[in-house]
Structure 1
Amino acid sequence: MIITFLGTGTSQGVPVIACECEVCTSADKHDKRLRTSLLVEAEGKVIVIDSGPDFRYQMLRAGVKHLDAVVFTHEHKDHTAGLDDIRAFNYIQQTPMDVYAVPRVQEALKREFSYIFAEYQYPGIPKLNLHTIGLDPFKVGPLKFTPIEVMHYRLPVLGFRIADFTYITDAKTITEKETEKIYGSKTLVVNALQKEAHISHFTLDEAIAFAQKIGAETTYFTHISHRLGKYADVSRELPENIKLAYDGLKLEL
């Protein structure tokens, strides 16, 4: 299985225009973060977790020429806004895109992209096959996804365990029942927004504490705000087996 971090950043706390902080003006490629998204490849199948506003550019930048499915963690626009751009894969592959989401997220997609689901459809719009998921494991191609429910303030969000790899974004709290699903993971990815307290995201210290509780061989932090600091500076503060992820990072598991 090959994991590629398409994006490790977030809209949360990031000025849209003319930010002159040390992160936004950094020349280090590790500080250039698009919105959080993950590419999973296994046995010829290619799956994306979340399609945020940067989805089209992320696909082009990563050279993705085939896509089998999109799996959604939750309905916030920084994770769904790029869904329209699956139309390119519809055209090339001549097949609808498999999309996996809980019913609440499906309803949000139907509101935000109503033209996709309209009775009378304009030629060339995206074509989807919606698959309903919950907290039970499900398969996408050869891969078994085990959903992990985390709380993003009061909003349930899904993380996913795939074999010995666990991916969690937008978490603030996780029950012990759901945490049980994560133990034994060799590689953990979890959000670490900033150092200051936040109502709906792990802080850096909270993410470190959670990583140490899980005890994975390696943990990567994602969904990183510019407020966290520069990649090089923060990396020096982290325990040896905990790292910051960055756009383009590729793992072979």
Structure 2
Amino acid sequence: MSPERLTVTILGAGTSTVVPVPGCSCAVCTSGLPENSRTRCSALLSFAGRNILIDASTDLRQQALREGITRIDAVLFTHTHADHVHGIDDLRPFNRRGEPAIAVYGSAETIATLRRRFSYIFDAGAEPGYRPRLETREASAPFRLFGLPIEPLPLRHGSGQCLGYRIGPFAYLADCSAIPKSSWDLLGGLEALVIDALRFRPHATHFTIAQALKVAEALAPKRTLLTHLSHDVDYPRHAPDLPPGVELARDGQSLSLLLDAAGKDTPKAAAGN
């Protein structure tokens, strides 16, 4: 059997304020360059005719229209900060008639918060209306999703927590300021890494670009994309200074990765789903 292919699309490479920042007159925000135009951080995994969303950013509608997305089959949530979940209502058009509800995954804390914050979606007693049909599932151990191996990776996000995800040879680590050893040990042998790199100056809840580069150097993936970029980062000015194999993520950018047909890309045994 020939290897299957995973396509990763960067839907948004920006931080919570997006870039350009409304009302800002800095050189990056006024540059007019597509590379400096960043919607809120999220990604799409496409595999075997299925689309798996990583986070439902506030810009989901815009991102879906831009990329021509016609179906979403599941969502992997990293955490519940507004810029990562407030596009959840824009999942409504992707509920295909006659098909099951869209499965949404996250930590126990994330699922509880989603169900509380968006009770109109999840509360069986809520008033009738046009809302997404979603089914919550806790991501506390490795699992398979449409045959794709998914490994949840606990991360530190300042004083809080966030989930990263390893999917075969690919890992997505957004909104993090530290990687616990238990997660670090699951990040060897990557083909591609997408990692939080907010800006150059220190930040309490995000990796700086220098910190993200140290992680990339230690893990040594073949390709690293820095994401969750603020308007401190100017693509034409800063991209050329990055080490070989490292680049600034761009909205709409895609990666194509081969998966081992025998399941060797699974970090460890996965439960069926």
* TM bin (shorter chain): over 0.9
* Residues 19-61 of structure 1: CA deviation (Å, up to 9, x unaligned): 1111111122111100001000011111000001001111111
- C-alpha distance in 2 between matches for 1:92 and 1:230: 44
Structure 1 194/150 Cα, relative in aligned 2: closer, same or farther at 3 Å? same
The answer for the alignment partner of 2:134 in structure 1 is 128
Q: Tell me if structure 2 keeps the 8 A contact 1:66–1:93.
A: no
- C-alpha distance in 2 between matches for 1:120 and 1:28: 45
1:120 Cα shift?
Answer: 3.4
The answer for the alignment partner of 1:89 in structure 2 is 94
SS, match of residue 80 in structure 2: coil
1:117 Cα shift?
Answer: 2.0
Question: Which residue, 83, 108, 117 being the options, matches 2:113?
Answer: 108
The answer for the alignment partner of 1:154 in structure 2 is 159
The answer for the alignment partner of 1:27 in structure 2 is 32
Matched, 1:241 2:245: yes
1:245 Cα shift?
Answer: 0.8
- C-alpha distance in 2 between matches for 1:242 and 1:69: 29
Alignment size in residue pairs? 251
SS, match of residue 95 in structure 2: helix
SS, match of residue 14 in structure 2: coil
Structure 2 residue runs without a partner (length 5+): 1-5, 258-273
Structure 1 93/217 Cα, relative in aligned 2: closer, same or farther at 3 Å? farther
- C-alpha distance in 1 between matches for 2:229 and 2:128: 38
- Structure 1: 4+ residue segments shifted above 6 A: none
Q: Tell me if structure 1 keeps the 8 A contact 2:19–2:37.
A: no
SS, match of residue 207 in structure 1: helix
1:100 Cα shift?
Answer: 0.8
* Residues 150-179 of structure 1: CA deviation (Å, up to 9, x unaligned): 100111111111111111001111122211
Matched, 1:222 2:230: no
1:214 Cα shift?
Answer: 0.5
What does 1:1-253 align with in structure 2 at a 5 Å threshold? Answer: 1-11=6-16, 17-90=22-95, 94-118=99-123, 119-134=125-140, 136-227=141-232, 229-253=233-257
1:92 Cα shift?
Answer: 5.3
Structure 1 residue runs without a partner (length 5+): none
- C-alpha distance in 1 between matches for 2:7 and 2:154: 24
**Amino acid paired to 1:127:** R
- C-alpha distance in 1 between matches for 2:191 and 2:33: 28
* Residues 84-118 of structure 1: CA deviation (Å, up to 9, x unaligned): 11111125565421111112111211222111123
- C-alpha distance in 2 between matches for 1:243 and 1:139: 30
Structure 1 9/93 Cα, relative in aligned 2: closer, same or farther at 3 Å? farther
TM-score by length of 2: 0.88
Q: Give me the CA root mean square deviation.
A: 1.6
Structure 1 126/80 Cα, relative in aligned 2: closer, same or farther at 3 Å? same
SS, match of residue 84 in structure 1: helix
Q: What is the percentage of aligned positions where both structures have the same residue?
A: 37
